[in-house]
Chain A
Amino acid sequence: MDNPFELHDWDELEDWQPQTIARLRARVIRELSEGRYGKDFEAKLAERGISMEDILNVLRGKRTYIVKYRDRHTRRWRIGFWHPRIELFVAWKPGRNGGLKTCFWRKSGVKYIQERLLCSKPVYRPKKAKRWIRV
């Protein structure tokens, strides 16, 4: 598949190769650097005490969990990133009108992404991470 990140429907896309993950990270980082996010995004960062460096560290981190999940309102696929040391969750929307959606601090990130996010499926998990529990 040439460019899976333009798609909204990833039902068929189950096999996330390392190259795909690397392209995903690069794309989200590029969109962040291009300022592709909602107009309240920067205000949210400031009020939540989150720096751009925090977000970049989550997006780049080898220990970062990456998950695909469905937006509970629109039911479209989204990508979530959560880093266990930084304890920050970052949500990204794919597609032409996509970009960084939001981010917030979350301690119990694995539990959050596994049990709370709708239809969540792991895209990438760190090698020494906790086992992904099927719930």
Chain B
Amino acid sequence: MFQACLSAQKGETMDTGVRDFHIEFENYDFGVRRIIPWTVTSPDDIDDAFSDELDSLLYARDCLEEELQAHPDSEELAPYIDKIKELDFILHAKRHVVLQIIANYPQWRETLKERPPRSHWWWYLDQLNGDGYETEREVVSWPAEQLGIVFGEEIAARVGLKAGQRVTIRVPDDKHIVISVQRGRDQE
């Protein structure tokens, strides 16, 4: 098995196991909700901490997966499942940020002692397509034409936005929106 992060510790009660699970859940949560956005706003800190943080985030996600697989019917872990799915969705949506910052991310897999299985998709952010980690709860089912953010040509030029580019916008309450920039109708 790829990693046995938490359950390999013999003689521990389930309560201890849940506490350990919670620690790794918080590491994953903090990494996805805080570290990645901070890195975008503090690019000068990238060399200093981001790779350790990302490594820790990936390790935490491995641990969570391992425990969920080992205890699929656990009532204690059940409340975490939706929260982990939500974090997965956010990480999936922000994968381009990770790939932009960590240019050698695909080589990270090669540096592990054991290659992660494909089911651990967080190790394959560079190979994911645009579909798929959407859950019903996260997808807003409004018609696309009713959602729009208009950038003036001057602003778009100033910040270097180009048609086809994907951009993450941080909004209050630590939510993030990922948009694809398209050329406006009047410019076509």
Interface majority SS on A: helix, strand, loop or mixed?
mixed
Residues of A that sit less than 8 Å from B by CB: 38-41, 43-44, 47-48, 71-74, 78, 87, 89, 91, 93, 99, 101-102, 104-108, 111-112, 115-118, 135
Q: Which residues of A contact B20 (CB under 8 A)?
A: 107-108
Q: Which residues of A contact B3 (CB under 8 A)?
A: 115
User: Contacts A72-B111, A107-B6: A39 and B42 contacting too (C-beta < 8 A)?
Assistant: yes
A74/B59 in contact, CB under 8 A: no
Query: What's the Cα separation between A117 and B30 when bound, in Å?
Result: 20
User: Contacts A73-B104, A105-B23, A107-B23: A39 and B51 contacting too (C-beta < 8 A)?
Assistant: no
Tell me the minimal C-beta distance from A103 to chain B in angstroms.
9
A48/B30 in contact, CB under 8 A: yes
Residues of B that sit less than 8 Å from A by CB: 3, 5-6, 8-9, 20, 23-24, 26-27, 30, 34, 38, 42, 45, 47-56, 59, 63, 102, 104, 108, 111-113
A116/B30 in contact, CB under 8 A: no
User: Contacts A107-B23, A115-B113: A72 and B51 contacting too (C-beta < 8 A)?
Assistant: yes
Interface majority SS on B: helix, strand, loop or mixed?
helix
Q: Which residues of B contact A74 (CB under 8 A)?
A: 47, 51
Tell me the minimal C-beta distance from B174 to chain A in angstroms.
11
Q: Which residues of A contact B56 (CB under 8 A)?
A: 89, 104, 106
Query: What's the Cα separation between A43 and B34 when bound, in Å?
Result: 10
User: Contacts A73-B102, A107-B6: A101 and B49 contacting too (C-beta < 8 A)?
Assistant: yes
Q: Which residues of A contact B38 (CB under 8 A)?
A: 40, 43
Q: Of A102, A105, A107, A112, which contacts B49 at CB under 8 A?
A: A102
User: Contacts A48-B30, A101-B48: A108 and B55 contacting too (C-beta < 8 A)?
Assistant: no
B9/A108 in contact, CB under 8 A: yes
Tell me the minimal C-beta distance from B22 to chain A in angstroms.
10
Tell me the minimal C-beta distance from A12 to chain B in angstroms.
22
Q: Which residues of A contact B52 (CB under 8 A)?
A: 71, 78, 91, 101-102
Q: Of A47, A72, A89, which contacts B30 at CB under 8 A?
A: A47
User: Contacts A101-B49, A107-B20, A108-B6: A72 and B55 contacting too (C-beta < 8 A)?
Assistant: yes
